[in-house]
A and B are shown apart, each in its own frame.
Chain A
Amino acid sequence: MLQFLYFSLSEAVTSLWRTRILNLLSLGTIMFAMFILGSFMFVGLNLQNLALDWQKQIQFNIFLNDDISEEARAEIQAYLGKSFFVDSFTFLSKDQARARFDEKFAAYEKVTENLEDNPFPASFEVFLLRGTKQQTYTTLKDELKSFAGIEEVYYDEEVFRRLGMFAGFIQMAGWFFGVIVIFSSIFTISNVLKLTFFTRREEVDIMKLVGASRAYIRGPFIVEGVLQGFLGAGAGVFLVYSGYLMVGRFLTGNTSFILGNLEPEFLPMQWVVLILLAGGFSGLLGSLFSLHQFLEEHISYH
């Protein structure tokens, strides 16, 4: 068995090398396929991480009426101060809010300059303890309703919900394209191997005539397909990894970017192994298909 594997491997490697131009074609296709699959997984994974990260710490704003009394404000502040779930909060006065807007959106300076009244409301920016459930937030929000002088309690849950959904969608799309892409790799490998057979049918006939058994003729072809798939997938994963390094460098180099504090995460080892196996497996299927079609139909003992 070991000897058979060794035989098949050494014959397959020689053959891969001999028809390397043709093999680069299928290698390239598989690489592209696995790159697409891997990229979707990578982006999906990181979007999900991002969504989870944001969901972990709920942050919301309490916008105050302009005519809120000093006492009412102090009451809210006291409430937030003793609430168990509040991690931290800061008060932002109308002027601070305007200043922050000017700072963040310098391009709109003209717009705010021309405003007579300051349209920005004063607010509390509240961070809940990490891990606080959304339900807790809802109760908190209800309790806050009883306080006077609150214009609105605003939590952009929709954004996060959408982000989470989007991440899930990306991953689904990844699997969807992945399947298409794996089928196309199988197809390519099978066709490239068929061409290989065709160029080598004389050789295969000779092998049969001198008494090589079926397994020893088929073995190298199968191993060749598996190797193609495996190497192609490896190259694809490598491309995704390069992409990951580039994204990482881009993010750390741009701290002002909203995602600046996010460290991208590369595909976990199991996923990488899965992609490689998918490559090898499509190679196996591809070679089995073409073997079945070619070796059995065109080269037989009769």
Chain B
Amino acid sequence: MSHDETLKESLTRNGVSRRGFLKFCATAASIMALPPSMVPAIAAALESARRPSVIWLSFQECTGCAESLTRSHSPTVEGLIFDAISLDYQHTLQAAAGDAAEEAREEAMKENWGKYILVVDGSIPLGNPGYSTIAGISNLDMLKETAKGAAAIVAVGTCATFGGIPKANPNPTGAVSVSDIIKDKPIVNVSGCPPIPVVITGVLAHFLTFGTIPELDELGRPKVFYGNNIHDRCYRRPFYERGEFAETFDDEGAKKGWCLFKLGCKGPITYNACATAKWNEGTSFPIESGHGCLGCSEPNFWDMGGFYKALSQPAVDVSQTAAYALGAGAVAGLGIAALNRKKKADVATDHQTVTIHDLRRNDPSKTEAEDS
């Protein structure tokens, strides 16, 4: 498979017909949330698109993101798009190992300098470079080196986008996200733990088709996929409005499919495509299977106060703080009370009785004669 081959050629070689190709374009349009009228334009763009080289670096991660992508049922648009790129380096998927693998990375970088897409999953430890290394190279060095020649970076998963679980309190490795380190390249944050497969491929499809990265939100996430709030799209929303909440996972409310807010659902603060794109070939999404949203596509989702604590509850222990403040307030109040009492007592002791005679005596306008 050469990089000079166009996407169309590659798909044809893989036995994809013209009809199949247009279907692929239509699917690509729909995952990029583009109108069907865009399909011919996409087809034209893709027909001449060169298969871009993709280098995938995995740092402090669990391989869940790669699993999410590769375990999606085939044949799918995800699979097709994966055929459409040249994945030149990926620990989990590549056959080569050791030096051969590193050589493959270096070669791909040299050949496609300035043009390749860098995909990163996992966070980068800054505490000690030894926490995570590949072929003796620290994650930080490898990221910096590989990012230099990249056309764009796609941070896949919440670890790479926001630090994720490694960064969770107390962040033992000093983990940071890709965008904390790389400042001079376009970075697309595809967050989620793991991200929805179609979202990962949607970003790649966008890059393939338009050669640019999609429009991003304030957290660097593509708006087309992260523009919707889970709570806004949740089919349990009417129960929320009516104040009908499941109190436990097996009570009447849970059986009736009531809102999971009290069981810790973070849907109201989570932006992702789960409620619309769904998981497992469109089967369902977590709330549909009876579990509240964890908010996995948001920064700090691990530290939001607990997965099973309602969103409106404090993220920290306030009761104890309040108890201390109460004690301190009482002590200070008694202190002030003592001061006030002292003032009152002082006033009482300092009180001098004054006679009419005393007042007159001090008045110079009155003469002694008048006085007597």
Answer whether A and B are interacting partners: no
- Chain B interfacial positions (CB closer than 8 Å to A): none
